[in-house]
Amino acid sequence: MTTPQTSDTNVDARIEVIQGDITEQDVDAIVNAANSSLLGGGGVDGAIHRAAGRQLLEECRTLGGCPTGEAKITRGYHLPARHVIHTVGPVWRGGEHGEAELLANCYRNSLALAAQHGLRTVAFPAISTGIYGYPLDEATAIAVRETRAFLATHPDIEHVTFICFGPHAYQTYLRALGR
């Protein structure tokens, strides 16, 4: 007889944390921490556009940008990932300008878009924690809370990976997940 799992255990078993480069992930979709133009930028956005090739920029030009907290999907072109979900995180302005809700929306809307497209595996970078200056601890808590909540109600999303670009982010995510 197998021991029944609580839904929490089941959710956390579908969440992985790795230290690495999101452009190398072989998943249905990687999430891009884009800017609202969707026309490329620095950080993870620049790395994704370089690895995907210029066809990604051509498709992004047809999308008309993206408001903060929302998400849009493209193909992955030369990436191992089949799709890129572009979401725009909030710029940190001290924490009293709706940053937490906007960042939560990034995770919710990205995962909802993945589910709508029948995608099962998704990898996230630490949205807003680079150039946009969101404190890593607070951003990580939101990423983990929203991902757990979404997975609990969407069994169709099989696996979410948090890709940490360095040991500090990696340790922060492990701690937030109680690992």
59 binds ligand ADP (CB under 6 A): no
23 binds ligand ADP (CB under 6 A): yes
Closer of 63 and 92 to ligand ADP (Cβ) = 92
Choosing from 39, 47, 104, 141, the residue that interacts with ligand ADP (CB under 6 A) is: 47
DSSP state for residue 80 in the 8-state scheme: S
Which residues are known catalytic residues?
A: 45
33 binds ligand ADP (CB under 6 A): yes
Structure tokens at 119: 């995608």
- Residue span binding ligand ADP (CB under 6 A) among the ranges 39-47, 52-60, 94-102, 109-117: 39-47
69 binds ligand ADP (CB under 6 A): no
SS3 of residue 116 by DSSP: helix
Query: Closest approach of Cβ 128 to ligand ADP, in Å?
Result: 4
Closer of 137 and 156 to ligand ADP (Cβ) = 137
Structure tokens at 53: 């090739």
User: Could you write out the DSSP letters of every residue in 15-71?
Assistant: EEEEES-GGG--SSEEEEEE-TT-S--SHHHHHHHHHH-HHHHHHHHTTT---TT-E
SS3 of residue 102 by DSSP: helix
76 binds ligand ADP (CB under 6 A): no
Q: Report the site for ligand ADP in 91-150 (rule: CB under 6 A).
A: 125-132
Amino acid at 55: Q
Reported for 39-46, long-range contacts at CB under 8 A and 24+ positions apart, including other chains, are 41/131, 42/131, 43/130, 43/131, 44/125, 44/130, 44/165
Closer of 22 and 142 to ligand ADP (Cβ) = 22
Which residues lie near ligand ADP (CB under 6 A)? 21-23, 33, 43-45, 47, 89, 125-132, 163, 165, 169
